[in-house]
Every structure is written in structure tokens, then in C-alpha cells.
Chain A
Amino acid sequence: MATPSANGAMRVDRQAVALALVQFAPRKGDVDANFERVEQVFEALRHDREGFPNVITFPEACLSGYFVEGGVRDVARAAKAVVDRLQKLAARACGKNHAPFDVVLGFYEDDAGKLYNSALYATIGQRSQLRHVHRKLFLPTYGIFDEERFVSRGRGIEAFDTPHGRAAILICEDACHAISATIAALRGAQIIYIPSASPGRGLEDMEPANVRLWRDITRVAAAEHGVFIVYAGLVGFEGGKGFTGASKVMGPFGDLRIEAPFDGAAIVRTTISLRDVSVARAALPALGDLEANLAEFSVMLDEEVERRPSGGRKKRK
């Protein structure tokens, strides 16, 4: 939106959001040690020449490591407890009167004994606020993955308002299903955060095949829906499985803004303008087109649900 400034010139409100994406190898099963690493990230960013970011995104399961099997009982934490701890760490690293900033962080969640692979969005400051918890819906349980044996499925994808735009969270395989980003975008998300833990495989070309796949997935999802995608990946080896970080920001034109190496701890930074979301959607009105045909798609989806052997689930009223 263009508004007149004090001297009468037109000023464009770019809704800038300074992002930092973090990739590191957690110490397996040691939640305290991994909180310490989060604090070290806060310290590093405090001294960064670009100043402290608005939103810091950490990978999936970064407080414990990804492959914990039955150990999930030991490492899962309540979302509120994570936020309380982040508030203490931020006060220690940045001083008690630091400006509020937002964190997206993947962790195993304990909700009164129910265990989830979750990611939270919180504003951290003197009065911290837990704004949203996303529980992973698509729990990979095939090949080297065994999530559903140890954690329960989440039930929904929500968009939520933050001080830095309307956001949604998807966790790793959630984002492999194109429909997930579509739901997030239909619900108004301008930024989709994707904490991830992607074990590398396929070494036939210059980079692991899954790195290329994630670049493609995020590029298509961003361009189709005119959203920013902020993807943060674990790194390091867990029991022979090496995670590929390649943390990245994909712009709403499907334009890769920045990407970390696939290996090694790193913090990558970029500042985005949410105005680009509107520009991209006007240039490629795919989301608008979908909204125009949404009723027909809803009917088609309902028909497919009815056709499944499990029988048509009653639609939620």
C-alpha cells in the first residue's frame, strides 16, 4: 500500500520481515544441551551486523534429534514449557529488556501424555506469547521412518496472525502433499514455515537428491500460492542417516532468496517484504483462480472421500 509520508512523497509500506533460519545437529536426546544451542544462536544473532531478526526458524525436532524412537517419552515437552524456557534463554542472551522477537521451533510435544511431532510459533519478550502449535499430520512410517509408532497425528492446518504477517506451519512431510500448502494459503497465510528433518539419499549428482526435491517442492508451492516459504532443516548424522539442511527462503514468485549448504551448522539471514505476496499473486493469480473454483473442488474431494473403503466421514459442521 502506498501512503503519503511527512514530506508528501509516496511511501511504500513494504512490511519488511527480517528472517533468520537456523540449522544445527542436535545432541541426541539431550534437551538441555539443545536449549543451550538455541541460546548460542540468540547470542550470535545479538552480535550480528544486521541486528536481531524478527523471526528465527529452527528445524524439526531440534530439541532432541529426530530419530528418538521410544525415547520420545523422555524428550517431549509441553509447548508452554518450551516458550518459558525460550524466554529465559533470550533474557540471558539478549538482556532482560530485549525487543520482542518471534520463534518457530520444531520439538516433540507432550500434551498430558499425548505425544506429537510439533512446531510452535511464539513471540518471545518480557511477556511471551504462544501464538500457535502445529502438530504434524503426515507422519512418515515407511522405509527408514517410523514416526506413527511413537507419536500421534495432528488434525489440522491453521493460519494465524503474527506481528510479522499471517503465517502457517507445516512440518516436513506435511509439505510434500501439495494440498497442505493450498489449505494454508486459502486460510490466508503469507508465510509458510517448514521445520524439517530430511535424511539425505541419492548421491548420483552433485548434491543429495532430496535437497533437489525440497527445492522443487518449496518452489512450486511458493509460486502456485504466492507465499513465502521458510524451510529450516536439521543437519548431522543420526545412526548413519545424514540430514540435509539446505535451509532456504523461497519467494512468492518461486524465487530462491537464500539457501544454506546441505551440511554443517549455519544461520542464514534475509529480509523479505510481504508486499511481494500481493505482487506475485497479481502476476500469477493461481490462488485467486482456485478460490473461484473452490466449490467444485470441494465437491470433487467430498466424492473421493465417499468413495474410499473407510466410508464417507461426516463432514464437520
Chain B
Amino acid sequence: MARAKFSVIHAPQHAEQSLRLDPALTERWLTAFLYDEIVKRRGMRNAVVGVSGGVDSAVVAYLCAKALGPRSVLGVRMPYRTSSEESYTHAGLVIRETGIRDLVVDISSAVDGYLEQEADASPRRKGNVMARMRMVVLFDQSAKYGGIPVGTGNKSERLLGYFTWHADDSPPINPIGDLFKTQVWQLARHLGVPRAIIEKPATADLIKGQTDEDDLGISYEKADRILQQLLTGYTLAEITEQGFAERDVQLVSQKVNSTHWKRHLPTTAVVSATAINEFYLRPVDY
């Protein structure tokens, strides 16, 4: 009898969970979220977005314009005197391309008014003051404009703790907070965000020449894949076995584990059986 020939089919070595998004579905989902949260739930019409010139706020501006119509979105540029000219120009480009309303508020005098009394403030402290001042502006403009501030923090920076507490994270709604940075880039391409904004190095632009990846010590491309594995429940050893450098896995893990507090409301001493959010539990939209 002739010998049977079998072809052996191998599965890929490791079926790493994909960070791929269907951008059209994601756009549909997030614009529905914005419309539901702003119009249906709160009965408001307008969104206020701080447009920095980076890809995160660009994506949020595009989504808000699609969800509410561009004239219902106020894009606020808030340069400080040391902010980069390129960021300002790119923010203007986003506002022009989306057709949202344009407002420029220079925060230099407000920030300096405080920092003049703090001559030895470190660059980190100065950056935090700028970030918090921008939120002061956004919330105030929301009150003036009859709108709601919309957050622009992505999941990668939220997990790595790479944001100023009670600043970037303070707007009551955020459409991209569950998207990793690399997913924000995917969505940005789909939405038509200008390539110059997508392809430039991400930066908080709080210090001249600063980039996110230099600050973090790892690229978003690597960090996101490690974060995805961590959050799915794999151990550090298992992630390292998949071919990631031990140093990178440790770095990401350490950043996540040292910043859980930044992803929560302030800790309140519980002294009763009716403590808010401990015993007395009502959801945010109740």
C-alpha cells in the first residue's frame, strides 16, 4: 500500500492578543458614546477640547466634530511661552481641518503668576502647574460656552502613570481612555488626521525637546504589547518568554504598579456604614 503523505500544519508560536482595531467600528462606537454622554444623558450640545497639536487631542477633536457637528465643538489652544511652535501650528491645523471653533488662551501669565513665588520649582513641578492650569481654562470655558470638557488621555499613558493627576484625567468623559497609543494612531489614520501629527514623536511638550518615549524609556509599540499581556493576566516571566526584554517588561510593570493611585479618586477614611462609594453605591449615571 502506498504510504500516505501528511502535511504538518503548525500554529504560530504564540498567539499574542492583537492590538488591531477596526477603525470604522471604533469611530462608530466612540461617536455614539460621545453623543449619548453629552446630548442624551446630560442634555448638552457642546464639547470643549484642549487641542495640543498631538495625536490624542486631534483624534478627540475629530470624534467630537463627527458626533456633535463641528460648530458644537470648541477647540482650545493653550500655549505656554516655552511651548513649541510646531505644536501650536499642528493644533491650528486640526482646528482648521475639522472646522471646529477656535480659541487661543495663552496660559503664560497665569502660570508665571504662581511660579514667580516658586523660583526653585523643578521642570516637573512647572509641567504639572501648566497641565492643571489648562484644566482650569477648559472647565471655565465649558461653563462659559455651555459645554463639557472632553478628555484626551489614552490608555497607555493612563496605565504608565504618565499624566498629571487631576489635570489630564479630570474631564468627566473621555472617548479614547481605553485605547492604547498605538490604537490611537490606527484610529487617527482612519479619521484623516494629518500625517505630520501622527508621525511626529509624541510629546507632552511641557519641557523643550521632551518626547514621551524618552521620558518613559520604552517605545509605545513595545510598551503597548507588554501592557496588553499584563492586563490579560500573563506573568512577567511568561511575557519575557515571548521575546520581550526583561528590562522592558520590568519597566512597564513597575510603572503600572506604582501608579494605581493615579487611576482612582482620593482615598477617604471610612468611619460609617454609609461611606460614599464604599457602602453607598450608585453608578455615575444614576
Q: Are A238 and B25 interface neighbours, CB within 8 A?
A: no
Chain A residue contacts of B21, Cβ below 8 A: 203-204
What is the 8 Å Cβ interface bit string for chain B, positions 26-53, against chain A (1 contact, 0 not)?
Answer: 1011001100110011000000000000
Say yes or no for B285: interface residue by CB 8 A criterion: yes
Say yes or no for A70: interface residue by CB 8 A criterion: yes
The residue from A204, A207, A239 contacting B283, defined by CB atoms under 8 A apart: A239
Q: Are B18 and A204 interface neighbours, CB within 8 A?
A: yes
Decide: A238 near B283, CB < 8 A? Known: A203-B21, A204-B18. yes
- How far does the Cβ of B250 sit from chain A's closest Cβ, in whole Å? 26
The residue from A70, A207, A236 contacting B36, defined by CB atoms under 8 A apart: A236
Say yes or no for B286: interface residue by CB 8 A criterion: yes
What is the 8 Å Cβ interface bit string for chain A, positions 239-252, against chain B (1 contact, 0 not)?
Answer: 11010000000000
Q: Which residues 198-233 in A have Cβ within 8 Å of B in the complex?
A: 200, 203-208
Decide: A237 near B32, CB < 8 A? Known: A203-B22, A204-B22. yes
Bound-complex Cα distance A207 to B28 (A): 10
Bound-complex Cα distance A71 to B280 (A): 9
Q: Are A203 and B285 interface neighbours, CB within 8 A?
A: no
Decide: A237 near B281, CB < 8 A? Known: A205-B25, A263-B32. no
Task: Pick the most buried of B24, B25, B26, B40: most chain A CB atoms within 10 A of its CB.
Answer: B25
Q: Are B20 and A239 interface neighbours, CB within 8 A?
A: no
Say yes or no for B284: interface residue by CB 8 A criterion: yes
Say yes or no for A68: interface residue by CB 8 A criterion: yes
Q: Are A237 and B282 interface neighbours, CB within 8 A?
A: no
Decide: A242 near B22, CB < 8 A? Known: A67-B283, A68-B286, A237-B37. no
Q: Are A69 and B22 interface neighbours, CB within 8 A?
A: no
Q: Are B286 and A28 interface neighbours, CB within 8 A?
A: yes
The residue from B29, B40, B41, B285 contacting A200, defined by CB atoms under 8 A apart: B29
Say yes or no for A29: interface residue by CB 8 A criterion: yes
Q: Who on chain B is nearest to A64 by CB? A: B286
Q: Count CB-based A-B contacts (< 8 Å).
A: 62
Chain A residue contacts of B20, Cβ below 8 A: 204
Chain A residue contacts of B28, Cβ below 8 A: 263
Decide: A205 near B22, CB < 8 A? Known: A69-B286, A71-B286, A242-B29. yes
Chain A residues within 8 Å of chain B by Cβ, number: 24
Chain B residues within 8 Å of chain A by Cβ, number: 23
Decide: A70 near B285, CB < 8 A? Known: A237-B37, A242-B29. no
- How far does the Cβ of B273 sit from chain A's closest Cβ, in whole Å? 12
Chain B residue contacts of A207, Cβ below 8 A: 25
Q: Which residues 49-71 in A have Cβ within 8 Å of B in the complex?
A: 65, 67-71
The residue from B24, B33, B280, B282 contacting A240, defined by CB atoms under 8 A apart: B33
Q: Are B32 and A208 interface neighbours, CB within 8 A?
A: no
Bound-complex Cα distance A28 to B42 (A): 12
Chain B residue contacts of A239, Cβ below 8 A: 283-285
Q: Are A238 and B285 interface neighbours, CB within 8 A?
A: yes
Q: Are B33 and A237 interface neighbours, CB within 8 A?
A: yes
Chain A residue contacts of B25, Cβ below 8 A: 203, 205-208
The residue from B26, B41, B281 contacting A203, defined by CB atoms under 8 A apart: B26
Bound-complex Cα distance A25 to B28 (A): 17
Decide: A71 near B283, CB < 8 A? Known: A203-B22, A204-B21. yes
Bound-complex Cα distance A5 to B33 (A): 56
Q: Which residues 230-286 in B have Cβ within 8 Å of A in the complex?
A: 280-286
Chain B residue contacts of A28, Cβ below 8 A: 283, 285-286
- How far does the Cβ of A213 sit from chain B's closest Cβ, in whole Å? 15
- How far does the Cβ of A266 sit from chain B's closest Cβ, in whole Å? 14
Decide: A242 near B281, CB < 8 A? Known: A203-B22, A205-B22, A206-B22. no
Q: Which residues 9-25 in B have Cβ within 8 Å of A in the complex?
A: 18, 20-22, 24-25
Q: Are A70 and B280 interface neighbours, CB within 8 A?
A: yes
Q: Are A71 and B29 interface neighbours, CB within 8 A?
A: no
Bound-complex Cα distance A69 to B173 (A): 20
- How far does the Cβ of B58 sit from chain A's closest Cβ, in whole Å? 20
Chain A residue contacts of B37, Cβ below 8 A: 237, 240
- How far does the Cβ of A212 sit from chain B's closest Cβ, in whole Å? 12
Given contacts A238-B285, A242-B29, 17 further A-B contacts (CB under 8 A): A25-B36, A28-B283, A69-B283, A71-B282, A203-B29, A204-B22, A205-B22, A206-B25, A208-B29, A236-B36, A236-B40, A237-B36, A237-B41, A238-B283, A239-B285, A240-B33, A263-B28
* Interfacial residues, chain B to chain A (CB-CB below 8 A): 18, 20-22, 24-26, 28-29, 32-33, 36-37, 40-41, 173, 280-286
6 shortest A-B CB distances, which residue pairs? A70-B281, A69-B281, A237-B36, A239-B284, A67-B283, A203-B26
18 A-B pairs with CB atoms under 8 Å apart are A25-B40, A28-B283, A28-B286, A65-B285, A69-B282, A71-B286, A200-B29, A203-B26, A203-B29, A204-B18, A204-B20, A204-B22, A205-B22, A208-B29, A236-B36, A238-B285, A242-B33, A263-B28
